[in-house]
Structure 1
């Protein structure tokens, strides 16, 4: 059953956006050629606006209709058009080798200075997305050439500071080797369920789905309440979206010229009014990292045993193995609390 649910959440965000846009469009909406509206409609509207006055002037001067009036004034109209064309003619374009004027030099220098300053900034000013999935590339969030030169400690501080003012955001910096382990397990087991404990109400189950976007070199996890998913299927909307950017996974130069391990930058968003608090989303992200091998090796020999148990639960769920049980999942989650 879990395998049958794979296509349902793969493009959930994009399908929800398309459905919303479609509901706001009227069925009789038409597409018009803007050039046609600009060059053809306007003269006809002017003629209709002044038709009554033109017909009156034609009668006063003894003409049968407006066309006869236009023919009588044809020479005058042509003269006025030539005078108007002379006034609105474009300025001559200087030859390519013409040196810049004294006034243009400070402007060029200012533009060059602005470009150089932009390269020094860690964050990019671009806001549009070039991916069909709607995921914004990291290059439109960070100035990658600048970010790639920063030590991991400084890059982490900047990344956290960037998200500090957003109350519904999540962020993290993950070592490249750690994320490699997580991604390998995710590709083999892209769906799983995780509990969120509520002291007074037991625990609430959440369904997660991994997706990948080659255009942005990212891996995204969608979290949805399991009850919501069971009730609405492919129409269930995620309450939290977490995207991992892999652009900076290569080795980097650290402090004092020492080589450091690459990193993966993670950022997430918790949607308001979906019944999930930011603290709940943080817990889910921590569980995600634990069950997908992000914390393997932590805790000595006992930690290795627990990591192996979590991995078995992950694989059993992916295969639909009967040995998977919610009780065992809850036990492992409680050990992490």
Structure 2
């Protein structure tokens, strides 16, 4: 069931992985001995053993070169351009496009809300699933810029597992034929039954770091999983951001599509691979591929 309702950038260094086979079966070496000897002569070495040593040296050099590659250089360029654009907008103070101030570091942190902040758990845990879903929708029906949903526990388990392994990501948002605005996704596991997903303009995150204000925060409540088999979600899109509800829902749709994929789906596997590549700092992650994958409505 879709959870979209109609109503910290950590850089991970590239890890190069190489698998080396120290030996081979004698018959295999014998089978290719003539080709190996020919290759040795081409490379100016006198024997197959010397050829092995040369190839191992070449592999080491290539591995060293790979480790010097910055797989997120393209993302850095996106960040740099957006940060500069937002600085200029802030100077011009252009209405809704202006940069929001950072969170005041001295402001005391308020406790996170659990499901009991919204519902009487003892009263609702015995209700039929359909009635609980109705009550949850009604709870937020008249709140502007709110998001809410009920999610099957099995579906959320997959999202949770992928979020735990890949706690940050980036998502593109098309902007009226003017290219793409990049948004930073962060997951926080704030309590035993509460998980948060926060979305922030990547440009604002670059300016304010950990004190950047998320424009959208989702809270996933898992207190009733054992009794009802569902997770309840509520969230809000801030009013002081130039982001429509349709745009927010498009971002959330891609959060679901990238984090909630199933092993049976080829398209889901591509998206999960992009999550892993971003987390690992792998050079296979590129902004062009991300934009292409995010645009596919599968």
Measured against the shorter chain, the TM-score band is 0.5 to 0.7
Q: Does 2:207 correspond to 1:231?
A: yes
Which structure ranks higher in relative contact order (CA pairs < 8 Å, sequence separation ≥ 6)? 2
User: What is the count of residue pairs matched by the alignment?
Assistant: 202
Aligned Cα RMSD in Å?
2.2
**What residue is the counterpart of 2:281 in the other structure?**
320
What is aligned with 2:98?
A: none
Structure 1 segments of 4 or more deviating over 2 A?
A: 1-5, 15-21
- CA 232–16 in structure 1, closer or farther in 2 if over 3 Å, else same: closer
The equivalent residue for 1:66 is: none
TM-score in terms of structure 1 length: 0.56
Question: 1:285 matched to which residue of 2?
Answer: 252
Q: State the distance in 1 between where 2:276 and 2:9 align.
A: 12
Match of 1:3 among 10, 14, 29: 10
Task: Give the structure 2 partner of residue 63 of structure 1.
Answer: none
Judged with a 3 Å threshold, the aligned counterparts in structure 2 of structure 1 residues 238 and 152 are, in CA distance, closer, same or farther, namely: same
Q: Residue 158 of structure 2 is aligned with which of 152, 160, 181?
A: 181
Q: Deviations over 1:110-143 (max 9, x none)?
A: xxxxxxxxxxxxxxxxxxxxxx652112112101
Q: 2:178 aligns with which of 201, 223, 242?
A: 201
Partners in 2 of 1:192 and 1:336 — Cα distance? 19
- The answer as to 2:262 corresponding to 1:296 is yes
Q: Which secondary structure state, in structure 1, belongs to the residue aligned with residue 127 of structure 2?
A: coil
- Structure 2: give runs of 5+ residues left out of the alignment: 1-7, 13-101
Give the alignment partner of residue 112 of structure 2, picking from 120, 135, 142: 135
CA offset at residue 151 of structure 1?
1.6
**Residue matched to 2:230:** 263
Match of 1:191 in 2: 168
Contact 2:105 2:211 in 1 (8 A): no
Question: Given the alignment, which residue of 106, 110, 115 partners 1:19?
Answer: 106
Structure-1 separation of matches of 2:132 and 2:111: 25
Q: How far apart in 2 are the matches of 1:218 and 1:239?
A: 19
Residue 2 of structure 1: CA displacement?
Answer: 4.7
Consecutive unaligned residues of structure 1, counting only runs of 5 or more, are 6-14, 22-131, 253-261
C-alpha change, 1:214 and 1:20, in structure 2 (3 Å) is closer
Secondary structure of 1:250's aligned partner: helix
The secondary structure found in structure 1 opposite 2:144 is: coil
Which residue of 2 is the match for residue 272 of structure 1?
239
Q: CA deviation at 1:19?
A: 2.7
Higher helix share: 1
* Alignment partners' CA distance in 2, 1:19 and 1:269: 24
Residue 148 (str. 1) matches residue 148 (str. 2) = no
Superposition TM-score, scaled by structure 2 size: 0.63
Q: Which of 305, 310, 314 is matched with 2:266 structurally?
A: 305
- Structure ID, larger Rg: 1
Where does 1:27-66 land on structure 2 (aligned, <5 Å)? none
Specify whether residues 218 and 17 from structure 1 end up closer, same or farther in structure 2 by C-alpha distance, changes over 3 A only: farther
- 1:20 Cα offset (Å): 4.2
CA distance in structure 2 between the aligned counterparts of 1:154 and 1:147, rounded to whole angstroms: 9
How far did residue 251 of structure 1 move? 4.3
